[in-house]
Amino acid sequence: MSSAIISRRAALVGGVALAGALAAAPAAARFTTRVPMMNGQRPPVAERLFTSPAVEAEIERVAARIADPKLRSMFTACYPNTLDTTVYMGTVDGKPDAFVITGDIPCLWLRDSTAQVLPYLHLVERDPALADLFRGLIARQSRSILIDPYANAFMHDPAARTDLSWALQDDTEMRPGVAERKWEIDSLCYAMRLAQRYWRQTADRTPFDDIWVQAARSCVATLREQQRKGDAGPYRFQRSSPRQTETLPLDGWGAPSRAVGLIHCGFRPSDDACQYPFLIPSNLFAVTALREMGEVAEEARGDSALAADARALATEVEQALREWGTMQLRDGRTVWAYEVDGYGNAMFMDDANVPSLLGLAFLGCVPADDPLWQRTADACWSTENPYFFQGSAVEGIGGPHVGLGQVWPMSLIVRAFSSADPQVIRTMLRKLRDTDGGTGFMHEAVDKDDPARFTREWFAWANGLFGQLIVELADTRPELLSAPL
């Protein structure tokens, strides 16, 4: 753990250890000098970074439907956590600007920031300030993509060099404004998803200016570039680290892939390096996100050329997925592979970070009743998946990012989102309630046998996703919240 900033690879912590380290972090102090309140408490009103009357009303509405007192307390703390602690509003050229940090790392990840704000989208028309937040984040993401479409994380100051301790010596083209430069397909997909979801909810053309169009074109061009049909493209990345998941092999170009129409990916949504560079969940997400972006380009901008370009790439990747994206398990079941290389090599596993195989229905990449996905999801939540862990406290999916035996609450949340079985959903809620380590918040990972051992005391994505689940259940399955767990 660096004295300058909390690494995503910090050792398992509990209690106040993380709070003390964060308080000493000068990078974090640039944005905030506090950590979230413990034991299910929110920061005092005067210390909250962003307050929305619509969100406060939603908290009251949903909380009244939750019978379990601890689950209710966790919802009231987790749901607004992004707004309370991670949103920094400003203006750029007279327009809203929103910089949304992940929590204990004071940088903006395209993936995390999108996922952090989407739980509030249904309230945006009730609160003009909330609408400004969405407009400001779309604008910030667009400008960030134009700095470097291969980067996954960005600095608050677009002229600043990274101060992330683990990224200072990376061998790649680090531009000002970039915090980390790990090429992850889903980073661009989440930016496209944010734009489309906002457009679908509001029909507000305001954010979709010339800068957004340039960024959208850059997204399509970058994804096409990483099909690597003619050459490897411009992206390479190496990092000096004892962990092979932190760097790419073969001088930073990544493992070989054959040009079959799929998109070559350097890193997974966990920020861990791919073993085989065609990451199937992210390629499936790209198909969906490209079509969503085409919808916005055509309807909000009247840009039929951009829409056609995005849709053509989506169709090409979709066709390649049908041919190359599946594999057989030992028992003969055909499932989606996690990664392939186009040479016939494939691996089955799943990682809790979304896009994941388990999360494909949640993301809208496949129908929830699709037999192929259902077989895949069943295999993910089983010992067929080397990163499925069963312990005395909890079972669920983790990943290489924090090591073996560590279950990510995010996997339980996604399983609850994806299941039609009320007993499964109830079990997931109970386990989420009982494995918070006494903090009242979600975490990155918890030890399968000892929930008091966890990573990331302040992880806004997981908090928001948990809140989003509770809101959805309040509206669609209220009986699961009104009955004892």
HSE-up of residue 82 (Cα within 13 Å, Cβ side): 33
Question: Residue 66: CB partners within 8 Å, gap ≥ 6?
Answer: 72, 75, 470, 474, 481, 482
Quote the pLDDT of residue 322. 98
Query: What is the pLDDT, as a whole number, of residue 74?
Result: 97
Distance, in Å, from the CA atom of 433 to the CA atom of 437, rounded to the nearest integer, reads 9
H/E stretch holding 453: none
pLDDT confidence of residue 25? 29
| DSSP for residue 120 | G
Q: Give the per-residue pLDDT at 100.
A: 98
CA distance 454 to 91: 37
Q: Which residues contact residue 411 at a Cβ distance below 8 angstroms, ignoring those fewer than 6 apart?
A: 352, 356, 358, 396, 397, 398
The DSSP string of 248-286 is -HHHHT-S----SSPPP-SB-TTSPBPSSSEEHHHHHHH
Predicted TM-score of the model (pTM): 0.93
Structure tokens belonging to residue 282 = 């992210």
Per-residue confidence (pLDDT) for residue 14, from 0 to 100: 36
pLDDT at 334: 98
- Interval 233-291: pLDDT, tens: 999 999 999 999 999 999 999 999 999 999 999 999 999 999 999 999 999 999 999 99
How far apart (Å, rounded) are the C-alpha atoms in residues 88 and 98?
Answer: 6
pLDDT of 278-313, one tens digit each?
A: 999 999 999 999 999 999 999 999 999 999 999 999
Tell me the mean pLDDT in the region 108-124.
98
Residue of 196, 265, 192, 273 whose CA lies nearest to 226 = 265
Asked whether the predicted pLDDT for residue 93 surpasses 70, the reply is yes
Q: Does residue 159 contact residue 144 with C-beta atoms inside 8 Å?
A: no
Report the run of H or E that residue 395 belongs to, with start and end. Answer: strand 395-397
Q: What is the mean pLDDT of the chain?
A: 92
Amino acid identity for residue 303 in this structure: D
pLDDT of residue 34: 54
Q: Which residues pair with 454 in a beta bridge?
A: 13, 446
Domain 17-482 has CATH 1.50.10.10: yes
The sign of the dihedral angle between the CA atoms of 457, 460, 461, 467 is: positive
Write out the DSSP string of 310-349.
HHHHHHHHHHHHHHHSEEE-TTS-EEE-SEE-SSS-EE--
- Give the tens place of pLDDT for each residue, 436-474: 999 999 999 999 999 999 999 999 999 999 999 999 999
Whether residue 2 has pLDDT greater than 90: no
Cis (ω within 30 of 0) for the bond into 355? yes
Question: Which amino acid, 219?
Answer: C
Contacts of residue 69, defined as CB under 8 A and 6 or more positions apart, other chains included, come to: none
CB count within 10 Å of CB 305 equals 10
Separation between Cα atoms, residue 182 and residue 174, nearest integer Å:
10
Q: Would you place residue 5 in the very low, low, confident or very high pLDDT band (cuts 50, 70, 90)?
A: very low
Question: Which whole-number Å values give the CA distances from 188 to 117, 175, 281, 287, 386, in the listed order?
Answer: 16, 18, 14, 12, 28
Q: Looking up tokens 């070989």, which residue turns up?
A: 256
Q: Is the pLDDT assigned to residue 4 strictly greater than 50?
A: no
- pLDDT score, position 49: 96
Inform me whether the pLDDT recorded for 12 exceeds 90. no
> Token match 């916005």: residue?
296
Reduced to 3 states (helix: H, G, I; strand: E, B; else coil), residue 104 is coil
Q: HSE, CB side, 13 Å, CA atoms: give it for residue 401.
A: 24
Annotated domain spans of the chain: 17-482
DSSP secondary-structure letter at 455? E
Bridge partners, residue 103, by sequence: 459
Query: How do residues 182-235 score in pLDDT, each as one tens digit?
Result: 999 999 999 999 999 999 999 999 999 999 999 999 999 999 999 999 999 999
Q: What is the rounded distance in angstroms from the CA atom of residue 88 to the CA atom of residue 90?
A: 7
Contact 122, 476 (CB under 8 A): no
What is the pLDDT confidence band of residue 387, given thresholds at 50, 70 and 90? Answer: very high
What residues contact residue 272 under an 8 Å CB cut-off, 6+ apart? 245, 246, 351, 399, 400, 401
Q: What is the arithmetic mean of pLDDT over 382-409?
A: 97
Taking 70 as the threshold, does the pLDDT of residue 364 lie above it? yes
Look at residue 320 and tell me whether its pLDDT is greater than 90: yes
